[in-house]
Amino acid sequence: MSAHPTNESDFDLYALGALEGAELREFEDHVAGCGDCAPKLAQARGRLAMLALVAPQVAPSAAAKSRLMARVDANAAAAAGSVRRSLPDPGRLSRWWATILMPAAAALAVATLVLWQQNDRLDQQLAALRNAASKQQAQVAAATKLADLMGSSGTVTVSLAQQPGMPKGTAHVIYNMKMGMLMYDGQLEAAPSGKSYQLWVVPAQGNPISAGVFQPVSGQMDHWMMEMPQGLVPKAFAVTLEPAGGMPQPTGPKVLVGAAS
């Protein structure tokens, strides 16, 4: 079919199974390769499905049944000599109903499938939008915390110095004891195989506290924020080289060290 259907009703007729012969073949050949007509056909099938769903089911009245039975009796009496030929053929009646109902049932099944697929795509798009909104909210919250940390008068910046013979790198820690917030920002060479870097808060009293395990990529910055325990007074900060995944307490060599002011 070289051109679009001239009548919009062709889509409804096709969905009902009313197109035949060359007209049917031309319509199917065109719609199969037309990006504009395929959605119109889906809409027609959707309309047919909705009509099938909303159409009220009407039961025949007792009077209609009586009239039907009276006509059957009259036909039987008029053809008493050929009863077998006069009686209605149940198979023919069933085929007649099937001729009407089967195209409608097929169209309803197709329309239901199309609607289900569209609903599934909408659910996926909605989930993606929710995920994006959640990430944006997290980014806004992190930016707000960072702005509060950087703008507070009680915020202290500690530079971490590279130790002799250790992997090259530089970093600093920004913390605020009143807010209970800490931020690490630094750049280090990639850790050796089977090793991880681990940031420690060395308190004035007690054991070092892990503030993050990380695997830097050479040439890229590592950056994160975290909450510090209430009442913690840092004495120093250090980055050590530990077994992959980190340790409960520092065991490896110090890579970067900085004393808290």
Q: 177 and 241: one domain? A: yes
- Count of domains in the chain? 2
CATH at residue 229: 2.60.40
**Over the range 103-141, which residues count as b (16 or more CB within 10 Å of their CB) and which as e?**
ebeebbebbeebeeeeeeeeeeeeeeeeeeeeeeeeeee
Tell me, yes or no, whether 208 lies in a domain.
yes
pLDDT at 88: 54
pLDDT at 87: 47
Q: What percent of the chain has pLDDT over 70?
A: 76
- Start-end of H helices in 62-89: 62-78, 83-86
Q: 170 and 219: one domain? A: yes
Tell me, yes or no, whether 234 lies in a domain.
yes
Dist. CA 133–CA 135, nearest whole Å? 5
Q: 96 and 16: one domain? A: yes
Dist. CA 114–CA 40, nearest whole Å? 12
Tell me, yes or no, whether 149 lies in a domain.
no
Tokens of 88: 């209605």
Q: 121 and 212: one domain? A: no
Q: Rounded mean pLDDT of the chain?
A: 80
Task: Give 10-47 pLDDT, tens digit per residue.
Answer: 777 777 777 788 888 888 888 788 878 888 877 777 77
| Least-confidence region, from 103-107, 122-126, 155-159, 180-184 | 103-107
Q: What percent of the chain has pLDDT over 90?
A: 32
pLDDT at 82: 52
Tell me, yes or no, whether 240 lies in a domain.
yes
Dist. CA 226–CA 112, nearest whole Å? 50
pLDDT at 98: 56
Cβ-contact 41, 31 below 8 angstroms: yes
Q: 13 and 122: one domain? A: yes
Residue among 237, 130, 219, 129 at smallest CA distance from 175? 237
Q: Has residue 114 got a pLDDT over 70?
A: yes
Q: 119 and 176: one domain? A: no
Dist. CA 31–CA 40, nearest whole Å? 9
User: Rounded to the nearest 10 degrees, what angle do helices 9-16 and 37-54 cross at?
Assistant: 60
pLDDT confidence tier of residue 241, bands split at 50, 70 and 90: very high
pLDDT confidence tier of residue 159, bands split at 50, 70 and 90: very high
pLDDT at 83: 42
Q: 23 and 116: one domain? A: yes
Q: Has residue 136 got a pLDDT over 70?
A: yes
Dist. CA 11–CA 241, nearest whole Å? 70
Tell me, yes or no, whether 83 lies in a domain.
no
Q: 160 and 117: one domain? A: no
pLDDT confidence tier of residue 6, bands split at 50, 70 and 90: low
Q: 245 and 202: one domain? A: yes
Q: 171 and 239: one domain? A: yes
Of residues 107 and 137, more confidence is placed in 137
Task: Give 170-206 pLDDT, tens digit per residue.
Answer: 999 999 988 889 999 999 999 999 999 999 999 998 9
Q: 109 and 47: one domain? A: yes
Cβ-contact 41, 14 below 8 angstroms: yes
Domain that residue 223 falls in? 156-259
Tokens of 251: 């065991």
Secondary structure element (H or E) that encloses residue 39, with its range = helix 37-54
Secondary structure element (H or E) that encloses residue 239, with its range = strand 234-243
Dist. CA 169–CA 200, nearest whole Å? 16
pLDDT at 67: 67
Q: 29 and 111: one domain? A: yes
Dist. CA 46–CA 54, nearest whole Å? 12
Q: Has residue 86 got a pLDDT over 50?
A: no
Q: Has residue 252 got a pLDDT over 50?
A: yes
